[in-house]
Each structure stands twice: as C-alpha cells, then as structure tokens.
Structure 1
C-alpha cells in the first residue's frame, strides 16, 4: 500500500483512536513492504519521512487541525527535519510509529516520531519543526492561536536544550537557504 493508501487508512481509522490532546502520543502500526525498501533490503531513508508524515496526519485528524485548517484557510507546513537511524527495519518487519507534539514556541512547534520495533527497541527517531500558515493573512500563526482555535487550553513546557538547538539550527539553515543562489 503506497502513501495514499496508508493515508486513507489513517484517516478512516482516526476516530477509533479517539481525540488527540497535546501531550498524548499517536501510535500507528505498519509492516515494511517491498515498496518501502532500498537495495539493502531495509526501510529506505525517504520512507521514514513519509511515514512520519502519517504520524503527524493522525494527530492533525484527531486534534481537529484538518477541520480547522479547512474552516480558517490554514495550511500546516513542515519546516525542518532531523533524523537519526539506530537499527534497521528489514523487509516484512512490523514496527510502530509513535508521534507526539512535544512543545512550541512562537510559530514553531516541535514534533517527535519514534520508529519502534516489535521488540520495543527504537529503530529511528525523527524530530520536526512545523508551523501553521494562514493563507489570507500571509503569515504563520502563533501556535497558541491554533491551540485556542482547537478549543484546548494548554501551556507548552519549555523546550529542552536539545529542542532549542534543533530549532536554532533549523532557523540558521533556513536563513542560509534564503540567501544562497
């Protein structure tokens, strides 16, 4: 099942997993399929990013972000990604993706996606920064505005040192990309 089939499955089953509240985790189960592998017969690096997208989409469906985005003309957008690979996910191996929204500051939200083997071991971790763009106003929203629009009252925890370094690195690389020809 390619990304669209997997996305359809996540969307169709989201309600059964209940509402997402900030601080919760999303857990999705998959199997490494022949379309997911590279010549080493394990999950290829690009597929990790696509599967992390599904973890985020599960959160977006369950938290009401997709509905709110349609109503308000918002576009959730990924800003940056950092991944580390610890163990292989071989062909036919079962694994879970455990996704969470860790914290936010201003217009940046930090997400985490752990790829967990059936043994409980972490195979990979993907950290992301993202934001919510309001097309009409041509601006990124403060995440507190998004949370309030979703009817939740949450105060984010302060970012950890590692999360601050990640956000700063993302901002620095973004600035460099904007000035490089």
Structure 2
C-alpha cells in the first residue's frame, strides 16, 4: 500500500519550507519501519522506490512544479528509472534522502535521488525519467519550462545519463518474446 500517511506528514513538515530553484536539492530524513522490510529484515527494493516518491513529490512542490501542473491541468508520470542498491537499510535505521533535478531533454525531466546512511554511505541511488502529460500525451519540456519560468535556462545532463538514454533507445520495445 502506498504510504499516504507518510506523504501527508512530509507535506505538512515542509509546508513552510522555502521554495527551491529548479536545480535545488530537497533533503529529508526517514526511518525504515516494520512494514518497509522484506523477509531478510531490510528495506524492500520495491518499497525503496515508493519511499523515493516522498522526496520527489516534495521536491516538485518546492520548485513549483506541482502548482504548475495544477494550473495547466497537467499530470506527471514516470517513464523509466535506473536504480542501484548498494548498502542495506535495516529495520529502524534512519537515513537521509536527497532529491534534485538533473536536467531535461525535449520530452523528459530527469530526477536524481539518493538514500544516505548515518555513517555517510550511500545506500541507494535512482535516476528517474519523468514525463509531464496532458490529454494529448507528453507535454514537451520547452512548454513545461516556459510554464515554470525557466525557459532560457540550460541544464546539461551528465554524460552518464546521456549514455543511459542511448542505451534505452537501443532496448527493444515491446520486449522480445521467446
């Protein structure tokens, strides 16, 4: 089940947080709770992605994207992700989440999120490709940037993200069935 109570808590907690620039980083603190774990008593890999939603949605609020989506009648959907799991987060471990925009191409926004353990180790890292949508499909990022007021701003994607984008273009869709 989606952690709606936790999401509500995050919106309340950060309701008066200052706005962030489009390239700002939202930092939040979390704890791995009993319903987040898998049979090995650590943060479940799927729950990790769900918890990243908490940081991403508050980031979207603080940079003005949620207000823009509401004003324009747009929605947002995830169009892909690339995840690394490197360190275990166990039940009741506290961790810090950092969420930031990496940049955009003509169709997608790219969002970078990390989870950091108290000892300074990065536990998990994900890059999301997000699409803003309307009734006709994907809204181009030039239109989204205009609506956000960052029209002329260049935000170059890192080389490793560009390589991921190229790899995704080579991946067959629909998947090949044997």
Among 144, 147, 151, the alignment partner of 1:146 is: 144
Q: TM-score under structure 1 normalisation?
A: 0.89
Q: Answer whether contact 1:29 1:95 (CA < 8 A) is retained.
A: yes
Q: TM-score under structure 2 normalisation?
A: 0.90
Moved more, 141-150 or 42-51: 141-150
List per-residue Cα deviations over 1:1-39 (Å, max 9, x = no partner): 961011101222233321121221011110000000001
Q: Distance in 1 between matches of 2:149 and 2:65?
A: 11
Q: Distance in 1 between matches of 2:2 and 2:22?
A: 29
C-alpha RMSD of the superposition: 2.1
Q: Distance in 1 between matches of 2:44 and 2:169?
A: 27
Query: 1:70-109 alignment to 2 at 5 Å?
Result: 70-109=70-109
Question: What corresponds to 1:67 in structure 2?
Answer: 67
SS state of the match for residue 168, structure 1? helix
Structure 1 or 2: more helix by fraction: 1
Structure 1 residues 65 and 178: alpha-carbon distance in aligned structure 2, compared to 1, 3 A threshold: farther
Unmatched 5+ stretches in structure 2 = none
Q: Distance in 2 between matches of 1:144 and 1:178?
A: 30
After the TM superposition, list the runs of 4 or more consecutive aligned residues in structure 1 that deviate by more than 4 angstroms: 178-181
Structure 1 residues 107 and 31: alpha-carbon distance in aligned structure 2, compared to 1, 3 A threshold: same
SS state of the match for residue 43, structure 2? coil
Q: Distance in 1 between matches of 2:17 and 2:39?
A: 35
Question: What corresponds to 1:31 in structure 2?
Answer: 31
Q: Answer whether contact 1:80 1:170 (CA < 8 A) is retained.
A: no
Question: What corresponds to 1:118 in structure 2?
Answer: 118
Deviation at 1:107, TM superposition (A): 1.1
Question: What corresponds to 2:8 in structure 1?
Answer: 8
